[in-house]
Amino acid sequence: MRKNNRGFTVLISILLIILGLAAVIIFSPLFLLSQITVDEISKYTKEDIIRVSGIEKGQNALKYVGGSIEHLLQMRMGKAEKYVENLPWVKSAVIQYKFSGVVHISVIERNAIAWIKYMGNYLLVDEEGVVLEVSTELDERYPEIRGLKPDKYTIGKIIEIEKPERITWLVQLLRSLEHVDRDSPQSLVAALDWIDFSENDELYMSLDGRIAARVNLDSELTYRLSLLKEIYYNHIKKEEKGMVDFFGDKYARFIPE
């Protein structure tokens, strides 16, 4: 009987210690938020990001920490991250408590690639086909992709196409365009006027209103777009007009008018 009482007393003591430690942690000024920092971004202000995250100064950091084991171990705020990632131009967000009352928000923004027409409006999409914004007019910084019939869209979500199988090729095209322009001072996207999906798995393109190109939609798409960019910028004079003709699997040539 004494052993049972002793065991019960030890258990109660352990629980009281745990509760005491929890109370110390919860009410400790060490975890009170005094500063929220945000990486420099172009589409949203620091105030926008903080407001959407739901994080407030003066609150205990542990109120926000969690979401998964990884989030707990890294003192990250999973719920707040999801709120920020719901913004159309945000690809991913990491919100982490850095101790001394500081929370840092790191955001990776989406990269706009092209316009797609939808019922008199134009949808701006990134390399994943996510709709970033809607406009009544084209912005000449991005080409128009033609030959697709969007079924419906939601800002911040992947566009839905009338022929679902075409979304795969659309995403491949967008990712290929993003890839060939990555870390390069020359931009194929900037040179393109429009891209037209044909019914026979080919793309027709116009560059700078004077160069036409026809490219097969296949696993070599990224290579061909890279080759097209090389030919356009380094082998065609600014006053020349004509067509870039792809032949074989790895070759292309410029045919002037």
Domain with CATH 3.40.50.10960 in the chain: 112-256
pLDDT of 218: 86
- pLDDT digit of tens for each residue in the chain (257 aa)? 555 566 656 566 666 565 555 555 555 666 789 999 999 999 999 999 999 999 999 999 888 999 999 999 999 999 999 999 999 999 999 999 988 889 999 999 999 999 999 999 999 999 999 999 999 999 889 999 999 889 999 999 999 988 877 888 889 999 999 999 998 999 999 999 999 988 778 899 999 999 999 998 888 999 999 999 999 999 999 999 999 998 877 889 999 98
Strands 35-38 and 102-109: parallel
> Residue 51 has what pLDDT?
97
Return the CATH fold of 30-109. Answer: Ubiquitin-like (UB roll) (3.10.20)
C-alpha distances (whole Å) from 177 to each of 12, 62, 132, 213 are 64, 42, 17, 15
pTM of the shown model: 0.81
CATH of the domain spanning 112-256 = 3.40.50.10960
CA angle 217, 189, 226 (to 5 degrees): 55
Residues 63-101 pLDDT 10s:
899 999 999 999 999 999 999 999 999 999 999 998 888
The whole-number pLDDT of residue 26 equals 55
* Intervals of CATH 3.10.20.310 along the chain: 30-109
Tens digits of residue pLDDT in 94-134? 999 988 889 999 999 999 999 999 999 999 999 999 999 99
Which pLDDT score, from 0 to 100, does residue 44 have?
96
- pLDDT the model gives residue 18: 57
Q: How many CA atoms lie within 13 A of 231 on its CB side?
A: 23
pLDDT recorded at residue 162 = 83
* pLDDT for residue 239: 92
